[in-house]
């Protein structure tokens, strides 16, 4: 058990819809990261937050947004969903935001029908 | 940009065989290097890490040495078990963020 909790584990929805994925980091970790894992793109970094502020951005689509709340949990919002958004979305956390091992949750599997 | 390249899989071995999974990287600056493992249906788990040249990371019988001259971080284990069957990811971090850049992953299947 990594201590990182992601909900829900599975999400099935239709094109054009909007979903929210939730992540609770390990106790004491200030930084949260979001990654997308798909068969064609592999594991891709989306975005990082540190203590409530955006720290780094990767190949995150404009239809996607995220935030980190004062209690340090984070949400990833995906809107206007397309078939290609079907993937496994991982959240990870670390103590600081720099050069630290990241601890991953079990992921949310998103299926777009 | 920074990138990580891993050997193609799947790799199929018999129990107690020697394992090598090759990993090379391209990076500006001096990255920290990691190996993560993903068991079926689970998230990624940190296996080992190395933060500077010639460092050797080790855990659970796995080892990898940070080779700056060859920009490599190959994963090795002397005797694999069926329970080692999983997908292995090589990754790096550079700069002042925690952005992990992953290789494409290598699937290891160990047969009894």
Tell me, what's the pLDDT at A41? 86
CB B4 within 8 A of CB B23: yes
Tell me, what's the pLDDT at B29? 82
Tell me, what's the pLDDT at B42? 86
Tell me, what's the pLDDT at B98? 81
Tell me, what's the pLDDT at A97? 64
pLDDT one-digit tens code per residue, A18-40: 999 999 999 999 999 999 999 88
Question: Given B43, B97, B104, which is nearest A98 (Cβ)?
Answer: B97
Q: Is the pLDDT of residue B41 over 70?
A: yes
Q: Report yes or no: A54 at the B interface, CB cutoff 8 Å.
A: no
Which of B32, B36, B44 is the mutation pick for testing A, counting most A CBs within 10 A? Answer: B44
pLDDT one-digit tens code per residue, A70-112: 999 999 999 999 999 999 999 999 998 677 789 999 999 999 9
pLDDT one-digit tens code per residue, A46-65: 999 999 999 999 989 999 99
Q: Report yes or no: A58 at the B interface, CB cutoff 8 Å.
A: yes
3-state secondary structure of B84: helix
CB A23 within 8 A of CB A91: yes
Residues 6+ apart with CB under 8 A from A21: A6, A7, A8, A11, A75, A76, A77, A78, A89, A91, A108, A110
């Amino acid at each position: 058990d990594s201590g990182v909790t992601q909900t829900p584990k599975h999400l099935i929805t239709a094109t054009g819809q909007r979903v929210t994925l939730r992540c609770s980091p390990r106790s004491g970790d200030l930084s949260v990261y979001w990654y997308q894992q798909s068969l064609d793109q592999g594991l891709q970094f989306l975005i990082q937050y540190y203590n409530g502020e955006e720290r780094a951005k990767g190949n995150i689509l404009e239809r996607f947004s995220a935030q980190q709340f004062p209690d340090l949990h984070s949400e990833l919002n995906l809107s206007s969903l397309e078939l290609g958004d079907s993937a496994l979305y991982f959240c990870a956390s670390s103590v600081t935001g720099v050069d630290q091992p990241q601890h991953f949750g079990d992921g949310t599997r998103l299926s777009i029908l | 940009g920074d990138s990580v390249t891993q050997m193609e899989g799947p790799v199929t071995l018999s129990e107690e065989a020697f394992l090598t999974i090759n990993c090379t990287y391209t990076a500006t600056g001096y990255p920290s290097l990691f190996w993560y493992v993903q068991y079926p249906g689970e998230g990624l788990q940190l296996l080992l890490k190395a933060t500077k040249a010639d460092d050797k990371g080790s855990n659970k019988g796995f080892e990898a040495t940070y080779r700056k001259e060859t920009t490599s971080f190959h994963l090795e284990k002397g005797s694999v078990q069926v329970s080692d069957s999983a997908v292995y990811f090589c990754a790096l971090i550079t700069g002042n963020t925690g952005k992990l850049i992953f290789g494409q992953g290598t699937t290891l299947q160990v047969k009894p």
